[in-house]
Structure 1
Amino acid sequence: MHVGIAGEVRCVVTKADGTVKTDTGFQKNLVLNQGLNFLGGGKGDSIFARCVIGSGNSTPAATQTALDSFVASATGSKNASKYGYADDGTNTYKTSVTYKYSFGNLDNVNVTEAGLASQGSTASNIYLCTRVLIKDSSGQPTSVTILAGEILEIYYKVWRVVSTLDASHTVNLNNTNGDTVPYNVVVRLASVGRAAWEKVGEPIADFDKYVAWSEEDLQPLTTAGPSTSGNRSNTVMSLRSYADGSLKRVLDLKFKIEDANIPIRTVNIAAYERFTFFLSQIRFGSVADDSPITKTNQDTLTIPLEFSWGRYEGDL
Structure 2
Amino acid sequence: LQRMRHGDLELALAAAERLVELYPERGAAYDVRARVKEERQELKSALADAERALALAPETPVHWITACRLRSLTGDHAGALLAARRAMELAPESLLARRSLAVELGIGGQLRESAELLEEVVARDPSDAAAWLNLAGATRSSAPRRAIEAATRARELSEDPAIVRAAWVNEAVAQERLKERALALEAYGRALNVDPDLAVGLQNRARLLLQLERYEEARRDLERTQRLAPDDPATWRWSHELYARTGPPAEATRCLRRWIELEVDLARLQKLTKKLCGGRRPDLVHGEMALSRLLALQPDEPLGLLNRGLVRKLRGEVAGARRDWERFLELYPERTEAARVRAMLGRLGR
> Where on the TM-score scale, by shorter chain, does this alignment land: which range?
under 0.3
Who wins on radius of gyration, i.e. which is larger? 2
Normalized per residue, the structure richer in helix is 2
How high is the TM-score relative to the length of structure 1?
Answer: 0.23
Higher relative contact order at CA 8 Å, sep ≥6: structure 1 or structure 2? 1
